[in-house]
Amino acid sequence: MTFPVYYRNRHWAVTGYGIERCDGCYALGKLSFWELWDDGMPGLPRHIFEKGHPDYGTKREFMDAWLVAMGVHPRPPKAKPFPHDWYEWLCKRYPELEIER
């Protein structure tokens, strides 16, 4: 795992590199946090959620790490900003996350 470690839950850690699985088997660089899919919405949660691998923990565990990571690693100047309604879209698409609005 890359240091420093800013946040850690059972499966994911927010590190100086980006987001890493705690077992060291999967790492996502900080630039990937800000990628948008063709519909203009954030791609990283869908990428992880749709893989559905049990070793990835729950969607909520990943979501918590991703939100922390975006605060630790700010959006690079060349990356497009998320649409204004991305958070509402995420809450509707994945209601099982039980994200407080």
Domain ranges in the chain are 5-97
Angstrom distances, CA of residue 62 to CA of 8, 65, 77, 80 = 10, 5, 25, 22
Residue 27, φ and ψ in degrees, nearest 5: -135, 140
Q: Which residue has the higher pLDDT, 30 or 97?
A: 30
Render pLDDT for 23-76 as a digit per residue (tens, 0 to 9). Answer: 888 888 988 888 888 888 888 888 888 877 767 788 889 989 998 998 899 888
Maximum average pLDDT range among 14-18, 27-31, 42-46, 94-98: 14-18
Write down the pTM of the prediction.
Answer: 0.83
For residue 26, which of 38, 39, 17, 35 has the smallest C-alpha distance?
A: 17
**pLDDT for the residue numbered 96:** 80
Residue 15, φ and ψ in degrees, nearest 5: -125, 180
